[in-house]
Amino acid sequence: MLQLRDSNGPATVIRRADYSAPAFWIDSVHLSFDLDPAKTRVLNKMTLRRNPDVPVQPLRLDGETLNLARVLVNGQGASFKLESGKLVLENLPLEGAFALEIFTTCEPLKNTSLSGLYVSNDSFFTQCEAEGFRRITYFLDRPDVMASYTVTLRADKQKYPVLLSNGNLVASGALEGTGNEGRHFATWVDPHKKPCYLFALVAGQLVCREQRIASRAGKAHLLQVYVRPGDMDKTEHAMNSLIHSVIWDEARFGLPLDLERFMIVATSDFNMGAMENKGLNIFNTKYVLANQSTATDADFSNIESVVGHEYFHNWTGNRITCRDWFQLSLKEGLTVFRDQEFSMDLCLEASARAVKRIEDVRVLRTAQFPEDAGPMAHPVRPDSYIEINNFYTVTIYEKGAEVVRMMQTLVGSLNDPTGRAGFAKGMTLYFARHDGSAVTCDDFAQAIADANPDSALSRLLPRFKRWYSQAGTPRLHAKGSYDAAAQTYTLHLNQTCAATPGQEAKEPFVIPVSLGLVSRSGADLPLQLRDGSASTSASHLLVVTQAEESITFINVAEEPVPSILRGFSAPVLLDFDYSDAQLMTLLAFDPDPFNRWEAGQRLALRCATALIAGEAILTGARPLNDDYVEAMRAVLRHPALDAAFKELVLTLPSETYIAEQLDVVDPQRIHAVREAMRAQLASALATDWQWAFEAHADNGAYRPDSLSAGRRALAGLALTQLCLAAQSSGDPSTGSGQAGVWPGKAYQRFKDADNMTDRLHALSALVNSGHELAKPALAQFHSLFKNEELVLDKWFALQAGSCDRGGQVLPAVRQLLKHPDFNLRNPNRARSVIFSYCSANPGAFHRLDAAGYVFWSERVLELDSINPQVAARLARALDRWSKLAEPYRSSARQAIERVADKANLSNDVREVVSRALAD
């Protein structure tokens, strides 16, 4: 048989169906490191035994980029083979435990992939999830092999005064003997068994903030946040977030901290957000460091949620882990759900909870829905992959969290309408059954259902689990009919789901639909069903299980406006043929804040798509109708709504979201229409924006709480709109009438701001309105913060993501790559320029001359030779190429082909581009 080959050899497809238990278990691991950036020596002494449930076979250990020096079995030299990277040992003892000793070296300084052991700012860090441990030593690098670890680190004391690994420090001190002058050691023992992807070490010049806390049971714990000297003043918020996380997990789920010592270490070179290594979390500095002058409200809130997320993994992920990487959502979907709940529970006001929910859904719909409709679409529990790093996706994380949220909803009952109590019971059963083991998504769902035997989830479990096996976003089509004589209202629902790669036909999903009926005057109507049951709350939970279903409400005194999918009760697309007047009613009155916001989004989308589809010339277009503008004015001036919610309602749907609603995408036309909508809102509501800015600009001493953050967000949007109005009202320097003063005021606010949120809003208002004051403001910003890496990332990102006016952004981006502060090897910096342009600025990226795509292909190839994981993320920027209108479509395809044609592509990038081309 002839096999298709590229220069890498055939890429291996890994399939879930091929899972088999490991042939050996590793009981204990003793690792000793002699840390040296150029050549680190690693001695790995393991105790292994055969798995009696698996036929006798050789031991095959994973390894990558290692130099092997010695292998001993029970202290004796042993014969071994190296087969396609694996270390293969035959003739091992058939019975009982045996000792295996492997001595290797690796080169941390040369490791630019940031997977395995690497050097950042003269310190050592590790990243082992998913398959980085095999770059440290030969091992059974799979999550279902859990072992006890003892780790000794040896290094130069002056260069690396701090030596950390998982667990507890049991010994440390100076090393004796010749050749050891100035060197010291530390030995750590982890009391918990763990898979190797949770191993970590850190060595370097670090300082730490410490806090001792006591658990409910009175046990003492030491919490530590390690950072580089000079960053101590930015650690208070991370520490507070950690303390809140510990308290919350014990209060909500009865899960206490199981470690004497819990450490967080920040590094500026990191591929992902953060990593939950047992007891030694390693974080991207972006999710640790914050104070009011360097971090925005969004940064503060992200830090709280990421610190929470990694901490919650200590139980969901670490105590119970994944059997194999296809089960990634077992830990990630669940832990995202937990961090979302944590952030919501920390909100004091109900309105702030609703705002958080809207923000989460916005992420899901702008990032996950396109993924689910594109070439990389995959189920929450995938069936196959080539490179597991490509499956750390919004589907596994965010859609996975929605699946868990639906489970909570579906275990609700009359006494527990939200399902919170039932879900907590399910979690308790999950830990009772599986603590200390490596399990599957099925095991998790079964535990939640079994703990709630009378629930809808328990009844529907096999069908519910289609959410794990079927990719694609279901579409729910709803139609309403009101019978005035009979006073009944019937809602007809049918569901479909488009084909996705490898899945042509789909079975119906179980879809929990929370719905209410809103009267003309805006009140929730009482809900009574034909069978005599009445909902005790204003919303009814309809669990759709069939392709087609209907539900009839009786004693409905007037024709209602249905409010469907309240709180976004399921991750689906909803079609309902609302009239404008019905949407206006929901926007003005819906007691469900999510659907109230959604009504405004639907109205805006309707104006946008009508104009995009037409032939009209867009210069000076006024896409928004008067009713919409008046409704926005009413929201902005509303006396009872809070500022954060207003800001969300008054923010138009993004270009990416608009594009997803269309069959054929002309990115320039979408950009032009959305800009026209922004300009129209800016000028039509000018006096209201002015009021909004003045009423919300001053917030006293800075605090990153949700209430004042909402006020700053609204003031920021108002300032942006005012600068835009000044710009479109004529001469940018003088403007006409009152409008012309706003760029000057924005510049003043930029200079005077006592916090990063207000300062960045003001700078962004100037940059995005194209005002000439943007230039001096950018220069001042740079000189103020030239020593703050994370702030410089904002400076780069703001420029690369700025509004395009006649194609000036791409040349500016090319210039930024030559800036002395640009560094392609640092993922945060690469993302701040390249991703901000290619993935987050569609109006500037999709150019008629295809220069944006050329830039993209150059950067993907350049990054691939440095860091394949980051390159593969960037490669996804053209996932949706096949929806583009010509000439964008053909030139995008050519750019993808240019990447695919390159010899020696990483598996990461090859998988992404070949799937894109198959679309």
The DSSP symbol for 285 reads G
Q: Is the Cα dihedral 393, 395, 396, 397 positive or negative? A: positive
Q: Would you call 880 helix, strand, or coil by DSSP? A: coil
SS (H, E, C) 568-594: CCCCCEEEECCCHHHHHHHHHHCCCHH
Tokens of 323: 């059997």
Nearer to Zn ion, 427 or 612 (CB): 427
Shortest reach from residue 427's CB to Zn ion, in Å = 17
Shortest reach from residue 242's CB to Zn ion, in Å = 16
Active site residue 310: yes
Shortest reach from residue 244's CB to Zn ion, in Å = 18
Report the alpha-carbon distance of residue 157 to residue 163 in Å, rounded: 9
Q: Identify the burial level of 35 via C-beta atoms within 10 angstroms of its C-beta, where 0-12 means exposed, 13-18 middle and 19 or more buried.
A: buried
Shortest reach from residue 317's CB to Zn ion, in Å = 7
Report the alpha-carbon distance of residue 64 to residue 138 in Å, rounded: 8
Q: Which helix (H) or strand (E) is 354 found in, with range?
A: helix 350-363
Terminal-residue alpha carbon distance, the chain: 27
Shortest reach from residue 1's CB to Zn ion, in Å = 41
Nearer to Zn ion, 321 or 729 (CB): 321
**Distances in whole angstroms, Cα of residue 192 to Cα of each of 90, 148, 217, 260, 812:** 30, 7, 20, 12, 51
Nearer to Zn ion, 306 or 407 (CB): 306
How crowded is the C-beta side of 764, counted as CA atoms within 13 Å? 22
Nearer to Zn ion, 331 or 831 (CB): 331
Q: Which helix (H) or strand (E) is 268 found in, with range?
A: none
Nearer to Zn ion, 131 or 332 (CB): 332
Nearer to Zn ion, 326 or 594 (CB): 326
The footprint of Zn ion on residues 324-343 (CB under 5 A) is 332, 335
**Distances in whole angstroms, Cα of residue 95 to Cα of each of 24, 99, 494, 513:** 11, 12, 60, 57
Shortest reach from residue 487's CB to Zn ion, in Å = 51
Cα–Cα–Cα angle for 401, 569, 540, nearest 5°? 145
Report the alpha-carbon distance of residue 366 to residue 383 in Å, rounded: 24
* Cβ neighbours around 783 below 10 Å, total: 8
Query: Among the options 64, 276, 310, 789, which is catalytic?
Result: 310
Q: Is the Cα dihedral 515, 518, 523, 528 positive or negative? A: negative
* Cβ neighbours around 251 below 10 Å, total: 11
Q: Which helix (H) or strand (E) is 736 found in, with range?
A: none
- What is the amino acid identity at position 278? K
The dihedrals phi and psi of 62, each to the nearest 5 degrees, come to -75, 145
Contact predicate 462/453, CB 8 Å: no
Shortest reach from residue 410's CB to Zn ion, in Å = 24
Nearer to Zn ion, 270 or 693 (CB): 270
Shortest reach from residue 331's CB to Zn ion, in Å = 6
Nearer to Zn ion, 335 or 343 (CB): 335
Nearer to Zn ion, 332 or 655 (CB): 332
Shortest reach from residue 332's CB to Zn ion, in Å = 5
SS (H, E, C) 810-821: HHHHHHHHCCCC
Shortest reach from residue 806's CB to Zn ion, in Å = 42
Report the alpha-carbon distance of residue 498 to residue 911 in Å, rounded: 22
DSSP strand pairing (280-284 vs 261-267)? parallel
The dihedrals phi and psi of 747, each to the nearest 5 degrees, come to -65, -40
Shortest reach from residue 687's CB to Zn ion, in Å = 46
Q: Is the Cα dihedral 844, 846, 847, 848 positive or negative? A: negative
- What is the amino acid identity at position 557? A
Nearer to Zn ion, 367 or 833 (CB): 367
Contact predicate 642/593, CB 8 Å: no
Please give the size of the binding site for Zn ion, defined by CB under 5 A.
Answer: 2
Report the alpha-carbon distance of residue 115 to residue 466 in Å, rounded: 34
Nearer to Zn ion, 338 or 711 (CB): 338
Q: Hey, which residues are catalytic here? A: 310
Residues that bind Zn ion (CB under 5 A): 332, 335
